[in-house]
């Protein structure tokens, strides 16, 4: 059992890094000439992983320096794609739209997840059905979610506008479209965040609350001084996962608005998709993909610093 991590507290981002760095100091098993069998065990995974993940990852870097079409025909043109990208207004618009979407979803989705977790975790007999109710949308295919959204938020016949006396054409109005996509995304995915928060809340030792109760703390004080600081590691994990996930927005936008109205919801991956499969510019689209990866890495690094600073306090 000595190799077990303390249950519940391990957080992927840190665990994996730690695991990689940790020297293999297991004083165990008789050594035998193990490497052929070891390689036989890892071979199938490494084969698929290398061919369908690592190779394309390298290839996308190279392609971004070529003028290839989508069949891969084309020559090396150096950094010309990137130079063009710098001046490509449509690309920068798509970056702005993506960041707008990220702002609309990351913090609200985390906050709503936390709120729902607080509501669910105190239930006893109703807990499982209520938890399932909030989590169920998460296991639906994205196209089912968007079909429901298009129907419920339909401008003329949708039940939402009927019940609220609204006349907004949610996915046709350039100002309403992105918030509507964000709202649908939160409804769809918040169950996942809620689940992580529930796990985090359950891991807060009951002694802490008992000790606080003896000291005469009321519910609000307990929440501020015990729950909030102790849930922070989970909250920062959720924020990191959310940030990376929301930058990759494609499916919902493609299915709900197709990037419209007036390109107001064209996000980076949608722009990449159009360049690759509609304009037949595989090289240029690869440069867009590389830019997205760079943006994600930069923003995650900044966020990581911010969250760490917060934790240190």
- Measured in degrees and rounded to the nearest 5, phi and psi for residue 220 equal -65, -45
Site for other proteins, residues 191 to 220, rule: CB under 8 A: 192, 195-196, 199-200, 219
Which residue in 65, 231, 237, 243 binds other proteins (CB under 8 A)? 237
d(CA 21, CA 2): 18
Residue 266 or 313 having the CB closest to other proteins: 266
Site for other proteins, residues 30 to 59, rule: CB under 8 A: 30-32, 34-35, 37-39, 41-42, 44-46, 48-57, 59
Q: Does 248 bind other proteins (CB under 8 A)?
A: yes
Which residue in 244, 263, 264, 303 binds other proteins (CB under 8 A)? 244
Helix, strand, coil in percent for the chain, rounding step 5: 70, 0, 30
Residues 6 or more apart in contact with residue 113 via CB below 8 angstroms: 190, 191, 192, 193, 194, 196, 197, 238
Considering only the stretches 70-78, 165-173, 204-212, 223-231, report the one whose residues sit in contact with other proteins under the rule CB under 8 A. 70-78
**Contacts with other proteins, 93-122, as mask; x by CB under 8 A:** -----------------------x--xx-x
Which residue in 114, 253, 269, 271 binds other proteins (CB under 8 A)? 269
Residues 6 or more apart in contact with residue 18 via CB below 8 angstroms: none
Considering only the stretches 168-176, 259-267, 280-288, 301-309, report the one whose residues sit in contact with other proteins under the rule CB under 8 A. 280-288
Closest alpha carbon to 253 in 240, 235, 272, 236: 272
Tokens coding 247: 């930058």
Site for other proteins, residues 4 to 23, rule: CB under 8 A: 4-5, 7-8, 10-13, 15-17, 19-20
Tokens coding 238: 């959720």
Q: Does 235 bind other proteins (CB under 8 A)?
A: no
d(CA 178, CA 214): 49
Tokens coding 203: 């891991």
Q: What is the DSSP string of 236-254?
A: HHHHHHHHHHHHT--HHHH
Considering only the stretches 90-98, 102-110, 129-137, 302-310, report the one whose residues sit in contact with other proteins under the rule CB under 8 A. 129-137
Residues in binding contact with other proteins, number by CB under 8 A: 110
Residue 104 or 237 having the CB closest to other proteins: 237
Which residue in 18, 211, 228, 297 binds other proteins (CB under 8 A)? 297
């Amino acid at each position: 059992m000595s190799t077990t991590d303390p249950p519940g507290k391990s957080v992927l981002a840190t665990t994996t890094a730690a695991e990689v760095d940790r020297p293999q100091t297991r004083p165990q098993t008789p050594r035998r000439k193990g490497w052929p069998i070891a390689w036989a065990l890892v071979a199938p995974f490494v084969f698929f992983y290398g061919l369908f993940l690592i190779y394309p990852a390298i290839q996308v870097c190279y392609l971004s320096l070529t003028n290839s079409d989508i069949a891969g025909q084309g020559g090396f043109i150096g950094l010309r794609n990137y130079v063009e990208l710098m001046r490509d207004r449509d690309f920068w618009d798509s970056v702005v739209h993506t960041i707008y979407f990220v702002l609309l979803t990351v913090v609200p989705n985390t906050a709503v997840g936390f709120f729902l977790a607080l509501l669910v975790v105190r239930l006893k007999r109703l807990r499982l059905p209520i938890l399932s109710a909030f989590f169920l949308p998460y296991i639906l295919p994205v196209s089912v979610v968007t079909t429901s959204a298009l129907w419920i938020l339909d401008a003329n016949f949708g039940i939402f506008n009927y019940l609220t006396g609204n006349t907004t054409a949610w996915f046709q109005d350039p100002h309403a479209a992105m918030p509507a996509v964000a709202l649908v995304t939160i409804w769809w995915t918040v169950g996942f965040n809620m689940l992580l928060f529930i796990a985090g809340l359950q891991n807060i030792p009951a002694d802490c609350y008992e000790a606080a109760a003896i000291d005469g703390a009321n519910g609000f004080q307990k929440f501020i001084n015990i729950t909030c600081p102790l849930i922070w590691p989970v909250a920062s994990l959720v924020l990191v996962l959310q940030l990376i996930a929301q930058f990759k927005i494609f499916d919902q936008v493609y299915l709900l608005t197709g990037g419209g109205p007036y390109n107001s919801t064209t996000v980076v991956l949608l722009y990449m998709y159009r360049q690759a499969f509609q304009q037949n510019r595989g090289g240029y689209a690869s440069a867009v993909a590389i830019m997205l990866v760079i943006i994600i890495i930069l923003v995650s690094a900044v966020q990581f610093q911010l969250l760490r600073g917060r934790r240190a306090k």
